[in-house]
């Protein structure tokens, strides 16, 4: 009863402060109130949270201390000097920490969820497999096949029928199939004109939704939901069960295929990662393989599909950019083959400068992972002058970094692929602590080359062969999630470019 009485007093106070903030015309840094800190302004801005952080970080010169309930402190930053210090210069003092693993516990002891020696061991193994020529050969072959046999037939069907299609859903299906093939060797055939339901993909979506929910929910309430098996934690538990069941099936089937010699016939065309782990890491148990599969599935599917969604949307709004990409693609093929339907292989698009710059520009403005967090082991002071302690959580806003005038110039909100091209016409490389879409320092993404190969294959096929008409009835805005998706999808109509 005491708890109920306290809640009845506390709730009106929060509501009063929330209404006060909504009426307030103050445009400085967020105000901190007794007991609730900056939570009223935070809660009132949740629908536009990424932009609210951007506005606040611009006012606060790229770094500010967010104060939450019960003296909870979170240092929010998009200062490149701070990020370089945390991710590279003093890397060992800034692990992801127990808080990260608690939120993302479904990832187990996979590479994205662990620190120190366990992380180093897994990174060395994954790096060896992903940089092997056999894996690259497998990547090129399977990506090309998925574009030609999955994506193009679906787009042709949609165009012929005059249907409205959610391209974000199409890209998620493509990325899910492509990633599943690369990681497990099996094609779930999620990308087809029937748009089938795929339990594995649905479970991943549900888990990702709850993992974001955990970021903004008191730990005590999460524990209560978990104990009572209700609400978001009930959804999370069901998703976990589905993922475990399917992944164990993949692992058992792969071991059976290997024992029967069914994989050896495809080795010349490259091998998937699960095969590589089972063959090379003899001591792998089911849990290790399960954690490894899930980490790579989550990373490969969601990031690539998010990047493609925002890229196509941006290009559809900038016809000059679209024309330059088409001209660049035409420049690498014989004149008699121009203005005809055509697909481009990995070698053809690998070194295209303008296409690469346009993809980087989309990633700058709409990074697939919009924020990251760290926890210091020891007290320290960041280059910006902000002191931090082990009780302080640190959040990087990658979305905001791409919109800082102090980082990218006065034109930072503009979509300009040219900013990625040198005066001599080559690709301009920006430091990873300034362009952090593929992480930075020792934790730089191992799948960067995989992502670019897949994105270029899809982007070239769509832009060269189709006209994309994004419907204007529903605004295309980012939703608040651990992955930067659109709020209501990318609803489009598609027509052939070449009759």
Count other C-beta atoms under 10 Å from residue 413's C-beta.
12
Q: What is the helix (H) or strand (E) element at residue 286, kind and residue range? A: helix 286-316
414 secondary structure, DSSP code: S
DSSP letter at 231 equals H
Q: Rounded to whole angstroms, what are the CA distances from 364 to 358, 369, 404, 412?
A: 10, 11, 11, 9
Helix, strand, or coil (residue 395): strand
Dist. CA 401–CA 484, nearest whole Å = 14
Tell me if 412 is assigned to a ligand binding site: no
Q: What is the DSSP letter of 443?
A: G
Helix or strand or coil: residue 16? helix
Residue whose entry in the numeric block shows the structure tokens 């105000």: 31
Cβ atoms of 375 and 94 closer than 8 Å: yes
Q: How many CA atoms lie within 13 A of 267 on its CB side?
A: 9
Phi, psi dihedrals of residue 278, rounded to the nearest 5°: -65, -40
DSSP, residue by residue, 57-115:
HHHTTTEEEEE-GGG-EEEEE--HHHHHIIIIITGGG---HHHHHHHTGGGTT-TTT--
Helices (H) and strands (E) in the chain, counts: 20, 9
Dihedral of the alpha carbons of 430, 431, 435, 436, in degrees to the nearest 10: 150
Give the C-alpha separation, 145 to 140, whole Å: 9
What is each CA distance from 177 to 142, 148, 186, 192, 301, in whole angstroms? Answer: 10, 13, 8, 10, 8
Binding-site residue positions: 445
Binding-site residue positions for heme: 445
């Amino acid at each position: 009863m005491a708890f109920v009485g306290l809640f009845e007093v506390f709730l009106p106070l929060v509501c009063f402060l929330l209404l006060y903030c909504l009426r307030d015309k103050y445009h400085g840094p967020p105000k901190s109130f007794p007991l609730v800190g900056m939570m009223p302004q935070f809660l009132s801005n949740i629908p536009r949270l990424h932009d609210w952080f951007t506005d606040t970080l611009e006012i606060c010169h790229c770094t500010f201390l967010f104060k939450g309930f019960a003296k909870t402190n979170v240092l929010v930053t998009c200062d490149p000097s701070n990020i370089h210090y945390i991710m590279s210069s003093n890397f060992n003092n800034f692990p992801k920490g127990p808080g990260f693993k608690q939120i993302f516990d479904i990832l187990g002891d996979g590479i994205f969820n662990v620190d120190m020696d366990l992380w180093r061991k897994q990174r060395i193994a994954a790096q060896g497999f992903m940089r092997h020529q056999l894996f690259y050969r497998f990547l090129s072959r399977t990506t090309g096949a998925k574009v030609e046999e999955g994506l193009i037939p679906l787009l042709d069907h949609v165009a012929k029928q005059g249907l409205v299609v959610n391209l974000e859903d199409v890209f998620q299906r493509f990325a899910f199939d492509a990633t599943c093939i690369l990681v497990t060797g099996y094609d779930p055939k999620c990308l087809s004109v029937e748009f089938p339901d795929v339990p594995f993909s649905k479970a991943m979506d549900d888990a990702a939704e709850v993992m974001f929910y955990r970021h903004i929910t008191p730990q005590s309430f999460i524990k209560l939901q978990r104990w009572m098996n209700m609400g978001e934690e009930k959804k999370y538990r069901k998703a976990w069960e589905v993922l475990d069941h399917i992944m164990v099936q993949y692992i058992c089937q792969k071991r059976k295929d290997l024992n029967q010699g069914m994989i050896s016939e495809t080795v010349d065309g490259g091998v998937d990662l699960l095969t590589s782990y089972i063959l090379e890491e003899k001591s792998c148990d089911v849990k290790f393989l399960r954690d490894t599969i899930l980490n790579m599935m989550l990373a490969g599917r969601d990031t690539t599909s998010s990047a493609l969604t925002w890229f196509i949307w941006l290009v559809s709004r900038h016809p000059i950019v679209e024309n330059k990409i088409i001209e660049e693609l035409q420049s690498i093929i014989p004149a008699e083959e121009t203005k005809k339907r055509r697909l481009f292989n990995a070698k053809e698009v690998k070194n295209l400068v303008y296409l690469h710059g346009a993809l980087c520009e989309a990633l700058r403005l709409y990074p697939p992972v919009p924020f990251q967090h760290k926890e210091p082991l020891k007290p320290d002071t960041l280059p910006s002058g902000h002191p931090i302690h082990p009780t302080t959580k640190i959040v990087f806003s990658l979305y905001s970094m791409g919109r800082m005038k102090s980082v990218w110039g006065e034109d930072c909100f503009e979509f300009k692929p040219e900013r990625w091209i040198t005066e001599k016409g080559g690709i301009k490389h920006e430091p990873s602590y300034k362009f952090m879409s593929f992480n930075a320092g020792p934790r730089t993404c191992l799948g960067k080359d995989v992502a670019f190969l897949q994105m270029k294959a899809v982007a070239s096929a769509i832009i060269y062969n189709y006209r994309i008409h994004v419907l204007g009835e529903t605004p295309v805005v980012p939703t608040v999630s651990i992955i930067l998706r659109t709020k209501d999808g990318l609803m489009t109509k598609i027509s052939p470019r070449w009759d």
